[in-house]
Chains A and B, each alone.
Chain A
Amino acid sequence: MSQLLKAKVTTHRQISSGYYLLEFSGAELAETARPGQFVHVKCSRTTDPLLRRPVSIHDVNKDRGTVRLLYRVAGRGTELLSVKEPGERLDVMGPLGNGFQLPDPGEKVAVVAGGIGVAPLFFLLRQVAAAGNDVKVFVGARSCRDLLAVDDIKGLGVEIQLATDDGSAGHRGPVTELLARGLKNIDRIYTCGPAAMMKAVAGLAREYNIPTQVSLEERMGCGVGACLACTCKIKTPGGSSYKRVCADGPVFNAQEVAWE
């Protein structure tokens, strides 16, 4: 059940240039959130910028009743967010959206993250690893400074492969090149990242006939399905229709997305 709360920021730090990890307390949110869901955060105290900003739930700690967000400063809203101090209150709505459908027991899983797209995937990875599924993680980014949460992922004891555009860490080139080589025996793929990357992952998945879930991004208004601002084109038997990323997604079946 989604809530509106003024949550206390417990910790907040820069983890790499322009990337922040923020933790706030919210016991019910931590208890009910599922991987792939997001919160809608009010970053400004004034009417400018006016709207909330959607941020994925990066992880939760049910024992401590805390929720983590991993975000990139992309503009004015996230800039204002980045100066919140521990102890301050954060106006959040959530959990929102549908979240990922977890794999069946025994399924071999590939998780493909691009840049900040790793944000919602860590929570998923932790649950999938805990469930005992075999997991391969592929993380790509522009450079090593944009590779996020790598140590946390390694801490889960899962296999991880890295790729960077500039070759500063791991494979030099798109992460999908690594994925293409590692698809053997994979039963299910999860991905989040730049649209071009997700489209390429969807293409590979189609070729190998592997069910794939993608987490999409669109500009949002309400975040609860009421305004129809955040739509994406989804294929239907008769053609296509617009679905709401906030309420029908953000997670969609990759083969249903009408990629541009």
Chain B
Amino acid sequence: MNKPNLAVNIGGVDMQNPVTTASGTFGFGPEYSRYIDINELGAVVVKGTTLHPREGNATPRIVETPSGILNSIGLQNPGVDYVIEHYVPYFKTLRVPVIVNISGDTVEDYAKVAEKLDAAGGIAGLEVNISCPNVKKGGMAFGSDPAMAAEVTAAVKSAAKLPVVVKLSPNVTDITAVAEAVAEAGADGLSLINTLLGMAIDINSRRPILGSVMGGLSGPAVKPVAVRAVWQVYKAVQLPIIGMGGISTAEDALEFILAGASAVAVGTANFVNPRATMDIIAGIERYLIDNGVKDVNELVGAAHGN
């Protein structure tokens, strides 16, 4: 059989294969370039970027839980101007699309960051984080209210010509309500899921372990929740989905694709296996060949049976 087609399109971002990186787990790209060829990825999604630099939360910022981790990084980042000055030149040397994850305290912040990145060039798309559980203002607050989520989406859309993917939070009663609202507001794609709000307590000191008390759960432990969210959102809206949450292997990735994701992002698994993305791309290709599937897009949402 000829090589199957792995290329997908996420709301205008052309990816040579469906595998990208989850924001915040891959730095700005160069950190992992000693272990993989970044140009083999479908796309690179980089660390959450805000209008002004952010210091982030107190340590400890990470704690292990069964088959997962809780993190409370707190969106530490050098600010959009620094990113444009120091990383955009690097992005321009890459042959794969770079998607910048953006965040803000206010709707205006999101719009300003989007406008600056749009003008900088070298960027293929924006991923709007309305789902970070680790910041006090903004973040998840935008993602849990459909009207606010729509407002942020519309503001980013009008500030930037770039494709806009909105990243949804699982910490809501009905994820489809938020998905529908941002679709209506003009989003070009959806990313899901961000981390699940959680916490852990040290029974010896009798205090919360994380410096900022609560954190976001990621890793294999969240996978069933994420697959469920992708399944529901795929049914509810027509937008392409980047699925993520606990993906460590090609089998995990295929589960998300069958649930309705056109692409997948690998997060926490990079920490364990810095070559996870490469192994997953190879594994998806092998699965397609073994099962006589000519195009990965044929599998998107196939578990729904239509």
Chain A positions within 8 Å of B, measured between CB atoms, are 1-4, 42, 47-52, 93, 218-232, 241-242, 247
Contact = CB atoms under 8 A, between A and B. Distances in A.
Nearest to B76: A228
Question: Main SS of the interface on chain A?
Answer: loop
Question: Main SS of the interface on chain B?
Answer: loop
Contacts of B67: 47-48, 50
A226 B32 contact: yes
Given A50-B67, A50-B68, A242-B56, A226 B27 contact: yes
Contact of B272 (A2, A42, A224, A226): A42
A230 B275 CA distance: 21
Interface stretch (B57-65, B164-172, B187-195, B197-205): B57-65
A4 B121 CA distance: 34
Nearest to B60: A219
Interface range, B side = 20 to 34
A224 B275 CA distance: 13
Given A2-B34, A47-B220, A229-B61, 17 more contacts: A1-B34, A2-B35, A42-B272, A50-B64, A50-B272, A218-B59, A219-B62, A224-B27, A224-B32, A226-B32, A227-B24, A227-B71, A228-B47, A231-B61, A232-B59, A241-B55, A247-B31
Interface of B: 24-27, 31-32, 34-35, 47, 55-56, 59-64, 66-69, 71, 73, 76, 219-220, 248, 268, 270-272, 274-275
B71 A221 contact: yes
B163 to A, nearest CB: 24
A219 B32 contact: no
Contacts of A231: 56, 59, 61, 76
Contacts of B219: 47, 50
Contacts, number: 95
A-B pairs, top 3 by smallest CB distance, nearest first, are A226-B27, A229-B62, A226-B31
A225 B27 contact: yes
A225 to B, nearest CB: 5
Contact of A50 (B31, B47, B69): B69
Q: Quick one: which of B68, B76, B275 has the most chain A CB within 10 A?
A: B76
A93 B76 CA distance: 25
Contacts of A47: 67, 219-220, 248
A222 B270 contact: yes
A222 B25 contact: yes
Nearest to A246: B31
Given A50-B64, A50-B272, A231-B76, A224 B31 contact: yes
27 contacts: A47-B219, A49-B64, A50-B67, A50-B268, A52-B272, A93-B35, A218-B59, A219-B61, A221-B69, A222-B31, A222-B270, A222-B271, A223-B271, A224-B31, A224-B34, A224-B35, A224-B274, A225-B27, A227-B27, A227-B62, A227-B71, A227-B73, A228-B24, A229-B61, A230-B61, A231-B76, A247-B31
Given A1-B34, A224-B274, A231-B56, A50 B220 contact: yes
